[in-house]
């Protein structure tokens, strides 16, 4: 596993790049150019250059470099302010930028042995009081979001319990996921391995039952919303009860 001594920050014009030198050599700005990667993949007749779902609001590009399969996420605003600012965020301190904070949180969680994507590089480009940002992680191979799986298939009680136990592991390490929903849970390894993704605006906070319960409630609302919009969505009370059983029975 890489250590802090491998974490490098470079400045190129108005852009700042934070990266793990144990994973890649020093990246250029082109490394964070979504259009470039999409065109490169299209030229190689690779239809998977862009995929939907699993990364919240963000549009992502999938690409390969130095023998690794990578995912490039650009940060976009949500809510009413999105119409005005789209992908611009207020902030002068790059270490407090969404990309740098998520990158460092991913590294910390990986160090705790939690199932998260491998953080590769973060990019922040400043413009006056605002900045735009990107994050590159390693792709979790052969994975589907929980939402996509349930749109077509039932999952057994054992897998529901695995999902609950996975969430409990994060809570035991005081990790608050700001947007725990059915698209930010990935199932891989023949759907038995569970990962959490998209930790934008998430953090490690004091251990209290209130935010942990709110995390679970947010996921439950997400699953119920999918069920409401897709009557064939394979979610019911029994599945939720199994998830909670796995959560309550989990050990660190």
Q: Which residues of 175-187 are buried (b: 16+ CB within 10 A; e: fewer)?
A: bbbebbbbbbbbb
3-state SS, residue 73: strand
- Phi, then psi, of 163 in degrees rounded to 5: -65, -45
- Whether residue 221 is found in the same domain as residue 103: no
The two counts, helices (H) then strands (E), for the chain are: 7, 12
Question: Which one of 138, 162, 195 terminates a domain?
Answer: 138
3-state SS, residue 190: coil
- Whether residue 106 is found in the same domain as residue 153: no
- Phi, then psi, of 80 in degrees rounded to 5: -70, -30
- Whether residue 237 is found in the same domain as residue 221: yes
- Whether residue 183 is found in the same domain as residue 105: no
DSSP secondary structure letters along 185-220: EEEETTTTEEEE---TT-EE----HHHHHHHHHHHH
- Whether residue 103 is found in the same domain as residue 149: no
Question: Which one of 123, 138, 153 terminates a domain?
Answer: 138
The 10s digit of each residue's pLDDT in 1-34 is 667 899 999 999 999 999 999 999 999 999 999 8
Q: How much is the pLDDT for 58?
A: 58
Q: Return the closest-CA partner of residue 152 out of 77, 230, 93, 68.
A: 230
> What separation in angstroms does the CA of 88 have from each of 96, 126, 205, 222, 226?
14, 9, 26, 27, 30
- Whether residue 133 is found in the same domain as residue 52: yes
- Whether residue 12 is found in the same domain as residue 122: yes
Whether 50 is in a domain gets the answer yes
- Whether residue 134 is found in the same domain as residue 148: no
pTM above 0.85, yes or no: yes
- Whether residue 149 is found in the same domain as residue 220: yes
Whether 180 is in a domain gets the answer yes
Q: What is the CATH number of the domain that holds 219?
A: 1.10.510.10
The 10s digit of each residue's pLDDT in 162-176 is 999 999 999 999 999
Whether 1 is in a domain gets the answer no
Whether 222 is in a domain gets the answer yes
Whether 62 is in a domain gets the answer yes
Mean pLDDT of 54-72: 79
Q: 87, 75 in Cβ contact below 8 A? A: yes
Range of the domain at 151: 144-249
- Whether residue 42 is found in the same domain as residue 159: no
- Whether residue 131 is found in the same domain as residue 148: no
The 10s digit of each residue's pLDDT in 75-118 is 998 766 666 778 999 999 999 999 999 999 999 999 999 999 99
Higher-scoring residue by pLDDT: 46, 85: 85
Question: Which one of 72, 107, 138 terminates a domain?
Answer: 138
Whether 209 is in a domain gets the answer yes
Catalytic (active-site) positions? 179
Q: What is the mean pLDDT of the chain?
A: 90
- Whether residue 17 is found in the same domain as residue 81: yes
Rounded-to-integer distance, Cα 42 and Cα 49, Å: 7
Number of domains into which the chain is organized: 2
The 10s digit of each residue's pLDDT in 121-142 is 999 999 999 999 999 999 999 9
């Amino acid at each position: 596993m890489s250590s802090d001594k491998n974490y490098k920050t470079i400045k190129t014009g108005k852009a700042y790049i934070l990266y793990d030198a144990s994973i890649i050599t020093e990246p250029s700005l082109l490394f964070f150019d979504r259009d470039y990667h999409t065109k490169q993949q299209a030229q190689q007749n690779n239809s998977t250059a862009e995929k939907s779902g699993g990364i919240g609001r963000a549009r992502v590009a999938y690409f390969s470099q130095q023998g690794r399969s990578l995912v490039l996420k650009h940060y976009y605003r949500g809510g009413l302010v999105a119409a005005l600012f789209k992908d611009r965020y207020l902030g002068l301190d790059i270490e407090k930028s969404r990309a740098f904070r998520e990158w460092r949180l991913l590294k910390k969680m990986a160090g705790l042995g939690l199932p998260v994507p491998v953080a590769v590089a973060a990019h922040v480009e400043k413009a006056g009081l605002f900045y735009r940002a990107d994050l590159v992680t390693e792709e979790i191979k052969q994975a589907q979001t929980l939402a996509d799986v349930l749109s077509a298939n039932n999952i057994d009680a054992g897998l529901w319990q695995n999902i609950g136990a996975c969430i409990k592991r994060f809570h035991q390490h005081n990790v608050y996921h700001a947007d725990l929903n059915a698209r930010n849970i990935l199932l891989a390894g023949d759907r038995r391995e569970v990962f959490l993704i998209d930790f934008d605006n998430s953090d490690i906070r004091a251990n209290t039952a209130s935010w942990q319960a709110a995390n679970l409630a947010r996921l439950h609302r997400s699953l119920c919303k999918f069920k409401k919009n897709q009557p064939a969505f394979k979610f019911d009370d029994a599945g939720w009860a199994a998830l909670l059983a796995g959560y309550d029975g989990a050990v660190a």
